[in-house]
Amino acid sequence: MREAMSAGYGLTPPAFHHIGIQTNDLDNALSWYKDFLGFRANWTMDHFSELTNSRLPGIRRLAEVAAGGVRIHLFERPGASASKPGVSLSQFQHVCLVVGSPDDLVTLRERWMDLFRSGRYSFALADQPTEVVTDHEGIQSFYTYDVNGLEFEFTYVPA
């Protein structure tokens, strides 16, 4: 269906460039993404276009972090923390990142818990990662929250 939709409009199918995440504390988020997922900071900025300032009032700083083909734009802006799951809102529910092996899931889950216990980070939610589960097709995954309270799924899809 995707091919038919894009062919019908003469468009090349889009691809993700980055995920934008709003945070109240850029330094906390930068450090956590570096320590948890091994992301590196590509660039930062603190001057914004009129369009950006009108869309994101109060924006203070923006940084891109990346690892592999995944880029996240973290932008610091005052605002409310993420709400607890269970409230039905029109929003992205979670972001899923695929890993290379089932062992990577275990390592990431343990790393998350180590970083949480370290006390070096301020977490919007204290919820711990789920257990790693396997579905009927052999796909393994777990869910967790970043320091901002945004939900991520980490998954392994066997060949």
Residue pLDDT, tens place only, 6-51: 556 788 888 889 999 999 999 999 999 999 999 999 999 999 999 9
Cα–Cα dist 66/18, whole Å: 9
Range list for CATH 3.10.180.10 in the chain:
15-78, 92-159
**Strand, helix or coil for residue 84:** coil
pLDDT digits (tens, 9 = 90+) for 72-112: 999 999 877 666 666 665 567 889 999 999 999 999 999 99
CATH topology of domain 15-78: 2,3-Dihydroxybiphenyl 1,2-Dioxygenase; domain 1 (3.10.180)
pLDDT at 38: 95
Say yes or no to pLDDT of 157 above 60. yes
Cβ partners under 8 Å of residue 70, min gap 6: 19, 39, 97
Cβ partners under 8 Å of residue 43, min gap 6: 63, 64
Looking at domain 92-159, which CATH architecture does it have? Answer: Roll (3.10)
Q: What is the distance of C-alpha 114 from the center of its chain?
A: 19
Q: What number is the average pLDDT over the span 62-74?
A: 95
Q: What number is the average pLDDT over the span 46-71?
A: 94
pLDDT digits (tens, 9 = 90+) for 119-135: 999 999 999 999 999 99
